[in-house]
């Protein structure tokens, strides 16, 4: 599991709620994570919140993929899950810098920072956050592995 420091159909109805006046600098909270938390809470309709995570390494180049945001941490960090054998994990072993993009409606938030591997407790907590069907399928998932198209 990785912890970041630093749209489905249900979102289309949520996006309509965000069709209001552009943001004004006046009245913005001093900490951006306060606004991000408010937006995520406003969007919370029981469905997942997606984040695009970009990582890079010298040997495998830059890549991006969509993940489920499991939780916005009190520190402002983003909690996402990943296999320790995935392309993400390999790239993060080479370079811990990453960028995440959250987007809904006309709003987009970019978060840059350093990733870190979760502790055993954080990993167990992250696993418990997954839907039961997803947890059951994890042992068969081979993230970041090439698909053998021949057979």
- Round to the nearest angstrom and report the end-to-end CA distance of the chain: 30
pLDDT in tens, 18-27: 555 677 788 8
Give the separation between CA 67 and CA 83, rounded to whole angstroms. Answer: 12
Which three-class secondary structure state does DSSP give residue 109? Answer: strand
Strand duo 97-104 + 78-80: pairing: unpaired
**What global pTM score does this model have?**
0.69
The 8-class DSSP code of residue 105 comes to T
Rg of the chain, C-alpha, whole Å: 17
114, pLDDT greater than 90? yes
pLDDT in tens, 54-100: 999 999 899 999 888 888 888 888 888 777 778 888 899 899 999 99
More confident residue, 141 or 55: 55
Instruction: With cut-offs at 50, 70 and 90, classify the pLDDT of residue 137.
Output: low
Q: Which residues pair with 56 in a beta bridge?
A: 62
Instruction: With cut-offs at 50, 70 and 90, classify the pLDDT of residue 132.
Output: low
């Amino acid at each position: 599991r990785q912890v970041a420091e630093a749209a489905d159909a249900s979102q289309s109805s949520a996006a309509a709620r965000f069709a209001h006046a552009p943001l004004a600098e006046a009245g913005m909270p001093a900490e951006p994570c306060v606004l991000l938390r408010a937006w995520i809470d406003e969007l919370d309709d029981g469905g997942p919140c997606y984040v695009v995570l970009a990582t890079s390494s010298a040997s495998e180049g830059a890549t991006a993929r969509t993940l489920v945001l499991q939780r916005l941490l009190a520190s402002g960090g983003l909690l996402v899950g990943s296999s320790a054998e995935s392309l993400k994990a390999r790239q993060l072993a080479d370079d811990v810098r990453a960028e995440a993009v959250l987007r809904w409606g006309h709003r987009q938030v970019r978060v840059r920072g350093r990733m870190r591997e979760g502790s055993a407790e954080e990993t167990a907590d992250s696993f418990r956050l997954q839907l039961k069907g997803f947890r059951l399928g994890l042992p068969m998932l081979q993230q970041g592995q090439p698909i053998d198209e021949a057979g």
